[in-house]
Structure 1
Amino acid sequence: MSASSSDATETQLSKGGPTLAIASLAAMATYLDSSVLFVAFPDITQSFTAATTSTLSWVLNAYTITFAALLIPAGKLADRVGPKQALLVGALIFTAASMVCGLSPSIEILIFARIIQGLGAAVLVPSSLALVLSAYPREKLPQVVAIWGAMGAFSAALGPSVGGVIVNGLGWRWIFFMNLPIGAVTLILGPRYLKESKNPEVRIPNLIGVALVAVAAGVMSFAIVNSDTAGWASATTLTMALIGVAILVLFVAHQKRTQAPTLDLDLFALTNFRWGIIAMFIYAISFGAMFFGSLLFMVEVWQWSILKAGFAIAPGPALVAILAAVFGKLALRVGQRPLILTGGVLLTVSAIYWLIALSFEPNYWVGFVPPFTIVAISIALIFPQVTSIAAQALPADRSGVGSAAIQSVRQFGQTFGVALTLAFVGNTSYARRELYGHFDQIWWTLAILGLLTTLCGVPMAVTKKD
């Protein structure tokens, strides 16, 4: 490498630091919001006693469905108007909606504000990753995307412990108010430090395609999140799932014909992008099931408080944040593929450990500390590196929509994992001992999903620094 090119790289790295920090912080708030309300839900229920349980459930589901449904159209829009502008608009929407959530006088206003929050998050997240991709030289992307990806996993898993402290100390409304300083920092520093990289040649997507993918994503998300109350085999769940699949088929057919696609289907011809998307979906299912299943096990079988269970889970996300940067540097030397292969195997190992060693009587140091350590290594290997290897395969002018597709399948997978957990152990009529046995279904599922994730890594091309 010449001295001039080396100097240029160093200059780009120095300018990339603020971008990574601002983009990661902004995205962190959206992922934290997706899990923090698990512990706030009982308090919200007490504040709106006149609301039915099904209505209250939409405080959780409205955000998830809107977020998943609008990610891909929002990512395409970010490619057109520029990720900097998209991130600032998304942060403004998300922050304003958070304020309304915290001040909501009625359940209806709270649910509406959660929908607007989901819209803001859908605009913010893909533009966040697109900014990171454009801020660094290509050879540094495995490391920086690993850090960005780890922040998402870290914040989502940290939600219950953070939420427990805030709810117990200040009340559920402060769950939303804590987003305000993050939004303020983003909106103040973003215009100064973020660099725009829009491509005016990217066409505004056809509105029919936007509507089809949003409705398909929304309907399938509804089928998943509603399955814990209606049942997996209910007419409602199966009908909504079939409608969602049918609309998705129409969307694919439309994308093949239109001159202004919402999602460029030729991206799936890219080996690393295609297998990265599949691996992300599979592993996200396991993440949702493992995270929510562990929380439920401690609360329902061991009879721990949600706050205590949240703190018991918290060391895992902290370890993920530390290891992600380490593995990001390792990926520069050996490539992401070996790390992904190892991460899937480690998930299977942790699941087998739970099947063998997790006891009915509380024993945190034996039942959870060893597998949580293994899982933390697995998460630090998989989420950041799968995101990185898929994102690196994207053309620069389609990083927004490609990033949105990666995060969309992650959101779907985690939602599906939570719903799967509720299907296995959500029956409140189980006695504690009987419920303990049903958790084996979760651990077996994790073991299988770990192996499937590893298999997805086999066809991936090795990417490493020469």
Structure 2
Amino acid sequence: MTESTRAAAPSGGPSTGTYATGHKPQSPWPALWALVIGFFMILVDTTIVSVANPAIKAALDPDTNNLDNVVWVTSAYLLAYAVPLLITGRLGDRFGPKNIYLIGLVIFTASSLWCGLSTTLGGLIAARAVQGLGAAFMTPQTMAVITRTFPPERRGAAMGLWGATAGVATLVGPLLGGLLVDGLGWEWIFFINVPVGVIGFVLAAVLVPRLKTHPHRFDMVGVVLSAVALFLIVFGLQEGQKYDWGTITGPISVWGMILAGIVLLAIFILQQRKTRSEPLVPLELFRDRNFSASNLAIAAVGFTVTGMSLPFMFFLQLARGLTPTEAALLMIPMAVISGVLAPFAGALLDKVDPRFILVPGLLFVAGGLLWNASMMNTDTPIWMFLLPSAMLGIGNAGMWGPLATTATRRLPPRQAGAGAGIYNTTRTIGSVIGSAAIAAFMQARLEANLPGLDKAPSGIGGGGSMPDFVKDGFSTGMAQTMLLPAAVMGVALIAALFLGRHTPKAE
């Protein structure tokens, strides 16, 4: 068996089993590179927006002191991204990952144009929701293709590329976002997706093979239950501080919405367990200890990665007066180190127990966040923030690949789409809750450190500068907010310690 044919063989079957009838097996690497372009664009878009949030607020929401309004630009995207993931993974199994990926790429690219043309905050939030839907169609297909075309003993290298993509995106996103916001305006962080999307479409159409499809039934009741549950929880968390955690309107209260969301989630799980036809979430996958622990860990990672950038960017741009480009430059060590080390970590995953890479990686990320928080004041020299950035880069390199590899290593080809959909849903739900929770916590910390903020006559950063007497309290509030994602990394660490031992196969 040649190297390319071996690489194309799916887990548990011959190399020809994964392709549609009549398609000659080929090396899976060109297809993966084509799909990575879309995955890269999705990640870049998330990190770009974190840098542009202050500029978007100044342009579209300058007259309020609530930071949670502009955070909906991120939360709407993540919420629309998370909810359909459970079914879009199945759609890839049913109609082919290539077809579903291309549909998602068209939606993502067109909605990016809509985002850039938006003239109101509400319009931008709506466009971002549609953009999230496109991302939901695309993301599971990347992991499903890896699972179905790379044998288990070689998935580590493929996931290394997946992890390196995340690392490079954390560099390109903030830096490109800073340059575009400073030079052309915040709209161009979305316009840039249009040519990239066109190129990505052409490459995927040519290079991604047609894979064998599997019949699936779609649980629409489960989709509705999970969608409503997530919306209630996210809306309650994010808007809680705005309504003082009390009544929103009439009999509807913040805590009532959150509780209703939790109850609906419980009903959803019970419904999945009792569904006689094919459930949206095959609960039998969670009998695999590694799949369960990896999903818990990636939820915590999603929470942390989404939550940590918001207070840090607001601190740098408003309290320290940095431009978006200057703020983004401080993230270069994290992105470069992560991008360089991730492929090496991926290669090691095929040879060692993933916990040997994962546990130190999670510790480095938590340590970097605590280090950042300790220095977030008006006296720390700006260059000092490069040091925890480097620490975060080392941690990121040992975090993404090991979790993805551990979660998907034992998935059968028929469940590749479902498993990838669940894993990415879990990650994105963590990100959604992280975005909502960080907005609420950030606003609470600001009001605790700046009493009377909600009654101040002018919006935060609306005029492009912050009065000196406000900067200390604002910086303290942002530093305290950073402690939340650092604490959540403890959940990921505990989950990693419960992973089952993996013995790599001999070459």
Report whether the alignment pairs 1:376 with 2:393: yes
Alignment-derived partner of residue 279 in structure 2: 261
Alignment-derived partner of residue 29 in structure 2: 17
Report whether the alignment pairs 1:448 with 2:487: yes
Q: 2 CA distance for matches of 1:265 and 1:51?
A: 47
Q: In the alignment, is the contact (CA less than 8 A) between 1:212 and 1:247 conserved in 2?
A: yes
Q: What are the residue-to-residue correspondences of 1:31-46 with 2, within 5 Å?
A: 31-41=43-53, 43-44=55-56
Q: 1:296 aligns with which of 310, 314, 323?
A: 314
Alignment-derived partner of residue 223 in structure 1: 236
Alignment-derived partner of residue 240 in structure 1: 257
Deviates further, 26-35 or 343-352: 343-352
Report whether the alignment pairs 1:388 with 2:401: no
Structure 2 residue ranges without an equivalent (≥5): 10-24, 451-469
Report whether the alignment pairs 1:8 with 2:47: no
TM-fit CA distance, 1:313: 1.7
Deviations 1:157-204 (A, max 9, x none): 643332221122222332222111221122212122112224333x22
Q: 1:140 to 1:225 in 2, by over 3 A?
A: farther
Alignment-derived partner of residue 209 in structure 1: 222
User: Comparing both structures, which one devotes a greater share of its residues to helix?
Assistant: 1
Q: 1:265 to 1:360 in 2, by over 3 A?
A: same
Q: 2 CA distance for matches of 1:55 and 1:355?
A: 24
Deviates further, 45-54 or 436-445: 45-54
* 3-state SS of 1:333 partner: coil
Q: In the alignment, is the contact (CA less than 8 A) between 2:368 and 2:388 conserved in 1?
A: yes
TM score, norm. by length of structure 2: 0.82
TM-fit CA distance, 1:395: 2.2
* 3-state SS of 2:214 partner: coil
Report whether the alignment pairs 1:432 with 2:444: no
Q: 1:302 to 1:44 in 2, by over 3 A?
A: closer
Q: 1:150 to 1:286 in 2, by over 3 A?
A: same
Alignment-derived partner of residue 80 in structure 2: 66
* 3-state SS of 1:303 partner: coil
Q: In the alignment, is the contact (CA less than 8 A) between 1:73 and 1:214 conserved in 2?
A: no
Report whether the alignment pairs 1:283 with 2:286: no
Report whether the alignment pairs 1:403 with 2:420: yes
Structure 1 residue ranges without an equivalent (≥5): none
* 3-state SS of 1:195 partner: coil
Letter in 1 for 2:149: A
* 3-state SS of 1:8 partner: helix
Letter in 2 for 1:449: V
Letter in 2 for 1:280: I
TM-fit CA distance, 1:327: 0.7
Q: 2 CA distance for matches of 1:153 and 1:6?
A: 28
Q: In the alignment, is the contact (CA less than 8 A) between 1:347 and 1:446 conserved in 2?
A: no
Q: 1:288 to 1:38 in 2, by over 3 A?
A: closer
Deviations 1:330-355 (A, max 9, x none): 21221312111111222343345446
Deviations 1:214-266 (A, max 9, x none): 22223323333434534567764322221211111111111112212111111
Q: In the alignment, is the contact (CA less than 8 A) between 1:91 and 1:121 conserved in 2?
A: yes
Q: 1:209 to 1:332 in 2, by over 3 A?
A: same
Number of residues paired by the alignment?
461
Deviates further, 336-345 or 310-319: 310-319
Q: 2 CA distance for matches of 1:361 and 1:300?
A: 14
Letter in 2 for 1:68: A
Deviates further, 244-253 or 305-314: 305-314
Q: In the alignment, is the contact (CA less than 8 A) between 1:66 and 1:218 conserved in 2?
A: no
Q: 2 CA distance for matches of 1:46 and 1:434?
A: 20
Q: In the alignment, is the contact (CA less than 8 A) between 2:345 and 2:401 conserved in 1?
A: no
Q: In the alignment, is the contact (CA less than 8 A) between 1:344 and 1:452 conserved in 2?
A: no
Q: 1 CA distance for matches of 2:311 and 2:140?
A: 28
Report whether the alignment pairs 1:249 with 2:285: no
TM-fit CA distance, 1:279: 0.7
Q: 1 CA distance for matches of 2:401 and 2:493?
A: 15
Q: What are the residue-to-residue correspondences of 1:300-311 with 2, within 5 Å?
A: 300-311=318-329
Report whether the alignment pairs 1:362 with 2:376: no
* 3-state SS of 2:326 partner: helix
TM-fit CA distance, 1:381: 0.7
Q: 2 CA distance for matches of 1:66 and 1:269?
A: 28
* 3-state SS of 1:117 partner: helix
Q: In the alignment, is the contact (CA less than 8 A) between 1:227 and 1:419 conserved in 2?
A: no
* 3-state SS of 2:351 partner: helix
Q: In the alignment, is the contact (CA less than 8 A) between 2:104 and 2:138 conserved in 1?
A: yes
TM score, norm. by length of structure 1: 0.88
TM-fit CA distance, 1:320: 1.1
Q: 2 CA distance for matches of 1:150 and 1:97?
A: 26
Q: 1:389 to 1:132 in 2, by over 3 A?
A: same
TM-fit CA distance, 1:290: 2.6
* 3-state SS of 2:398 partner: helix
Alignment-derived partner of residue 179 in structure 1: 193
Alignment-derived partner of residue 168 in structure 1: 182
Letter in 2 for 1:135: T
TM-fit CA distance, 1:122: 0.7
